[in-house]
Amino acid sequence: MITKETVNYIASLSRLHIDEAENAGFVRNLEDILQYVAKLNKLDVAGVLPTSHVLKMENVFRDDKVSPSLTQQEALSFAIESHAGHYKVPKVIE
Amino acid sequence: MDLFNLTANQLLTMISSGQISAADVLSSVRVRQQAVGQKTNAFIRTYDETGNGAAFPVPIGIKDNICVKGREVTCASKILKGFRPPYDAAVVEKIKASGGIVLGSLNMDEFAFGSSTESSSYGIVRNPWDLGCVPGGSSGGSAAAVAAGEAVWAIGSDTGGSIRQPASFCGVVGLKPTYGRVSRYGLIAFGSSLDQIGPITKDTTDCARLLGILAGFDHRDSTSVDLPVPDYTKSLDRHVRGLRVGIPKEYFIDGIQPSVLAAVQAAIDFYKKEGALICEISLPHTEYAVATYYIVATAEASSNLARFDGVEYGLRAVPSRPRKAGIVDMYEETRAKGFGNEAKRRIMLGTYVLSAGYYDAYYLRAQKARTLIKNDLDKAFLDCDVILSPTAPTTAFRIGEKTNDPLSMYLSDIFTIPANLAGIPAISLPCGFDEKNLPIGLQLMAAPFAEERLLAAAFAYEQAHGWHVQRAKL
């Protein structure tokens, strides 16, 4: 069952600030959708391997060769805030 | 003659014979866009590029989740406002190299989360056939632009039906290629194990031509498959004798609009009359597809959207009064202000199904259900060459009809989702009109990399009917 507390916890994991009114909406939405997807519990999945990806390929590597890429200046050109070649963010440690 | 109503193939013939010039085409499409753009709201922004001097620069619209160098690209979200990618997506490189002209960015559901293009932060898109109806989604701007003559071709992306369902609602042709056929380099990711980029055009001939431009190996997309790209236009063939057409009994359920059912039944009769072999098949896990999809797709989306955090690009917001540590406040406020309701809903659901204690019950179980759905299709293609069904259970619904009921919106993708879960190619093409003169879409699916077979089967039907030459009156 989805409670107000569950929604707050999930919002915090999602790094989303939500207010009281939104919380009530999410309780309802998540409850509805989870109730619908519960139909998967009827399936017998014993011994079935999970599919994360439909292609039969793994470990796609490229040659370890340096090729042109964005310069530091280009990469930072659309930064919201930058300083001395770095992204600048609000204080991380209080 | 209204050039904007013609296909690239028709226009090319006229240019080659000297009847018209490439500049006439471009000007016709631009004038049309200016005339009807406010009605459809298909484009978010337009550019006035003139091309690189190709003999026929096809005017193309690009969905707003595909990077165009130096142009604003936002996924129709406030969180990416002002983002100008410093590179072209692989498909945009290919379009430019082919001589195509990028007309502008096309409207969509925010981050491609939706089936109606009502969740865009740039306003809803209206269906050219009836401005009170949705164009479908999430590539609603792409389908509406082609249907209205605002672009000759459009590029869309399809995670659970986002090319095919709007193509169906707007009476145009849309194809989702095999997973790995078209590079996703430069596509802003939604569900990485499901997403494919594909063409939206007025007919199957143009579809074949555009797919040939888009397809091909790209080392920058690790899911790209290194297989030769055939000349898809050579596959167009009017003969379907001996083609094995599978009819999945689980797709013909209660709740399909009667006129949709009748149009699809008539298409089955056509193939039978032309000598195709109609076989009833079973895809027993079909009823689990939507539930499986909404777990897998939202899980992947919640992970992909974690990058929008107010650090590198786009929006940054801070609360007026501090709540938590500085940077966490910034993350939470940026994402609260930047994402719309449906994006938040999907991030929340995806985070929930991946969270400790629920992973096995939801995400892992859905991945196993996905195996069963894929196995059904693999097995079906031993007995048939294409699988035929409606693209969507209904024609275009009214604006606002499903916005307060997310689940009923999700169910409009019931026939398109399995192709994404299995990674197979599928096409939607017009197969008639309902009692309100709204277009009906026919879906054909085929085995991986059998796009030629899809196009051939679609072409045979299209040429014998002529639905594709009908145009919306705007």
Q: Which residue of B has its CA nearest to A16?
A: B332
For the residues B33-50, what does the mean pLDDT come to? 96
Partner B contacted by A13 (CB < 8 A): yes
Which fold would CATH assign to domain B3-243+459-469? Amidase signature (AS) enzymes (3.90.1300)
For the residues B114-118, what does the mean pLDDT come to? 96
Q: What is the mean pLDDT of chain A?
A: 92
Q: What is the mean pLDDT of chain B?
A: 96
Tens digit of pLDDT for each residue in B236-280? Answer: 988 899 999 999 999 998 889 999 999 999 999 999 999 999 999
pLDDT greater than 90 at residue B408: no
- The b/e string for B63-95 (b: 16+ C-beta within 10 A; e otherwise) is bbbbbbbebebbbbbbbbeebbbebbbbbbbbb
Tens digit of pLDDT for each residue in B224-243? Answer: 999 999 999 999 988 899 99
Is B63 known to be catalytic?
A: yes
Partner A contacted by B318 (CB < 8 A): yes
- What pLDDT, on a 0 to 100 scale, did the predictor assign at position B255? 86
List beta partners, residue B306.
none
> Of B379, B397, B449, whose CA–CA distance to B196 is shortest?
B449
pLDDT greater than 80 at residue B392: yes
Q: Which phi-psi region, left, alpha or beta, contains residue B244 (left: φ > 0; alpha: ψ -120 to 50)?
A: beta
Residues of A in contact with B368 (CB under 8 A): 43, 45, 48-51
Rounded Cα distance, B423 and B400, in Å: 31
Chain-chain contact of B336 with A17 (C-beta, under 8 angstroms): yes
Element (H, E) at B430: strand B426-433
In chain B, what are the domain boundaries? 3-243+459-469
Rounded Cα distance, B233 and B211, in Å: 9
> Of B108, B80, B102, whose CA–CA distance to B89 is shortest?
B102
**What ipTM was reported for this prediction?**
0.95
Chain-chain contact of A91 with B344 (C-beta, under 8 angstroms): no
Tens digit of pLDDT for each residue in B301-323? Answer: 999 999 999 999 899 999 988 88
- What pLDDT, on a 0 to 100 scale, did the predictor assign at position A58? 79
Partner A contacted by B348 (CB < 8 A): yes
In chain A, what are the domain boundaries? 1-44
Residues of A in contact with B72 (CB under 8 A): none
Rounded Cα distance, B409 and B399, in Å: 12
Q: How far is CA B74 from the centre of its chain?
A: 17
Tens digit of pLDDT for each residue in B341-388? Answer: 999 999 999 999 999 999 999 999 999 999 999 999 999 999 999 999
**What CATH number does the domain located at A1-44 have?**
1.10.20.60
* pTM attached to this predicted model: 0.97
- What pLDDT, on a 0 to 100 scale, did the predictor assign at position B123? 98
Element (H, E) at B197: strand B196-201
> Of B292, B383, B307, whose CA–CA distance to B339 is shortest?
B307
* Inter-chain CB pairs, A–B, below 8 Å: 161
Strands B153-158 vs B59-63: parallel, antiparallel or unpaired: parallel
Residues 32-71 of A with CB under 8 A from B: 32-34, 36-37, 39-41, 43, 45, 48-55, 57, 60, 62, 70
Ordered per-residue pLDDT tens for chain A, 94 residues: 899 999 999 999 999 999 999 999 999 999 999 999 999 999 999 999 999 989 888 788 888 999 888 899 988 988 899 999 999 999 887 6
